[in-house]
Amino acid sequence: MPVSGAARRLPPWAAAFQEATAGFLRGGVRWHAPMDGYTTFKVGGPAEAIVLPRDRHELALLVQTLAAIKVPWLVLGRGSNVVIADEGLPGVVILFGRDFAKIELLAEEAESAVVRVEAGCALARLVGWAVKRGLAGLEFAAGIPGSVGGAIVMNAGAWKKEMKDLLVGVTVMDGQGAIMTRRLEEMHFAYRSWGEPRGTIALEGFFRLQKGDPLALKTICGEHRQRRKVLQPQHMASGGSFFKNPAGQKTAGQLIDAAGLKGRAVGGAMVSPVHANFIVNTGTATARDIMELMRMVQQVVLEKFGIALEPEVKILGMK
């Protein structure tokens, strides 16, 4: 099994892991791999190990092995909504590569079609694929970074639309490697959450898309992308919208703006002057900078408006 980045001492569980996975893990392991290259924030220390399984069978055996030897793990999409600690992550980070990125037209009717999309597929690729074939519904996702799996788990949304509005089912794997396909009505989607237990992995989503005109859909996607360019910071690393919008009439961005926090900085992290609900990496930010700025924003908004802002981004590895 190929090993890279092993100059540092391997974690104490490495020998048991290598022995247990020798018969099935074909993709190898990256030991002590820096995570800043795997997130859109461009921060994060090393994971003890990164693994890219080649198929579902290998993934199932992997999570079963990790459970048996009591090693923590998590699945990371394209890192567009996470902050990873400067100290890195314990255990194994599981990434879905091109072996988990298929798009398949399953069924077609007069007015709609059902499409199966694997979790590792880039959301931008899915949007382009659908628009080219005149399948409508995903235009709101134009310009949203990340993977389809991450978008499902986060119930990603924009312009008052969410992933759950298009899904008819999701194939999942539990923490013991068992696979099942669940209908939308059996799930518990909520604002920026799919409601599944921790340790559940999204393998693929089934989307019902409506028939439309490819040129019209392309125009709509272009308009959405242009709005993002105008309303959101460009050419700076960030994790997308940082805080969830609280219940009420004002969004998180409006509250942060009204608190006078645009441009406020801690180290290399700054509240974007363009959109107040974006914390950006000006080039030298650490995860600690981002967390300190997050807490500052939360404190000021709570003091001024009595509203506790909750992060939308996932914070990983912080003690």
Tokens of 261: 């926090």
Residue the block writes with tokens 């194994």: 92
Residue with the larger pLDDT of the pair 9 and 61: 61
Tokens of 65: 């092995």
User: Could you tell me if 106 and 224 lie in one domain?
Assistant: yes
Cβ distance 92 to 70 under 8 Å? Answer: no
From residue 25, how far is each of 4, 92, 93, 171 by CA, in Å? 15, 13, 14, 22
* Burial of 298 (C-beta count, 10 Å sphere; 0-12/13-18/19+): middle
pLDDT given at position 8: 66
Residue 273 CB neighbours (<10 A): 13
* Domain finish residue from 208, 230, 252: 230
Alpha-carbon Rg for the chain, nearest whole angstrom, is 20
Positions annotated as catalytic residues are 192, 241, 312
pLDDT tens per residue across span 246-269: 988 899 999 999 999 999 999 999
- Provide the domain count of the chain: 3
User: Could you tell me if 155 and 79 lie in one domain?
Assistant: no
User: Could you tell me if 239 and 207 lie in one domain?
Assistant: no
User: Could you tell me if 130 and 211 lie in one domain?
Assistant: yes
Q: How confident is the model at residue 2 (pLDDT cuts 50, 70, 90)?
A: very low
pLDDT given at position 6: 44
Q: How confident is the model at residue 106 (pLDDT cuts 50, 70, 90)?
A: very high
* CATH number of the domain enclosing 31: 3.30.43.10
pTM recorded for the entire structure = 0.91
pLDDT given at position 4: 46
* Domain finish residue from 230, 248, 275: 230
* CATH number of the domain enclosing 262: 3.90.78.10
Question: What is the rounded average pLDDT of the residues 113-125?
Answer: 97
Q: Which domain holds residue 175?
A: 100-230
pLDDT given at position 231: 86
User: Could you tell me if 120 and 63 lie in one domain?
Assistant: no
Lowest mean pLDDT: which of 7-16, 76-85, 177-186? 7-16
User: Could you tell me if 106 and 197 lie in one domain?
Assistant: yes
User: Could you tell me if 133 and 192 lie in one domain?
Assistant: yes
For residues 230, 234, 38, 104, the Cα torsion angle rounded to the nearest 10 degrees is: 30
- From 46, 16, 53, 49, select the one nearest 31 (Cα to Cα): 49
pLDDT given at position 5: 45
* Burial of 319 (C-beta count, 10 Å sphere; 0-12/13-18/19+): exposed
Concatenate the DSSP letters of all residues of the chain into one string: --EES-SSPPPTTHHHHHHHHTTT--S-EEEEEESGGGSTT----EEEEEE--SSHHHHHHHHHHHHHTT--EEEE-SSTTEEE-TT-EEEEEEE--GGG--EEEEEE-SSEEEEEEETTSBHHHHHHHHHHTTEES-GGGTT--SBHHHHHHHT-EETTEEGGGTEEEEEEE-TTS-EEEEEGGGS--BTTB--PPTT-EEEEEEEEEEE--HHHHHHHHHHHHHHHHHHS--SSEE-S--BPPPSSSS-HHHHHHHTT-TT-EETTEEE-SS-TT-EEE-SS--HHHHHHHHHHHHHHHHHHHS----BSSEEES--
Residue with the larger pLDDT of the pair 8 and 24: 24
pLDDT given at position 101: 96
* Domain finish residue from 52, 76, 95: 95
* CATH number of the domain enclosing 167: 3.30.465.10
User: Could you tell me if 61 and 24 lie in one domain?
Assistant: yes
User: Could you tell me if 123 and 226 lie in one domain?
Assistant: yes
User: Could you tell me if 81 and 187 lie in one domain?
Assistant: no
pLDDT given at position 271: 98
User: Could you tell me if 81 and 139 lie in one domain?
Assistant: no
Check pLDDT > 60 for residue 301.
Answer: yes
User: Could you tell me if 51 and 123 lie in one domain?
Assistant: no
pLDDT tens per residue across span 125-146: 999 999 999 999 999 999 898 9
| Percent of the chain residues topping a pLDDT of 70 | 97
Check pLDDT > 90 for residue 68.
Answer: yes
Check pLDDT > 50 for residue 114.
Answer: yes
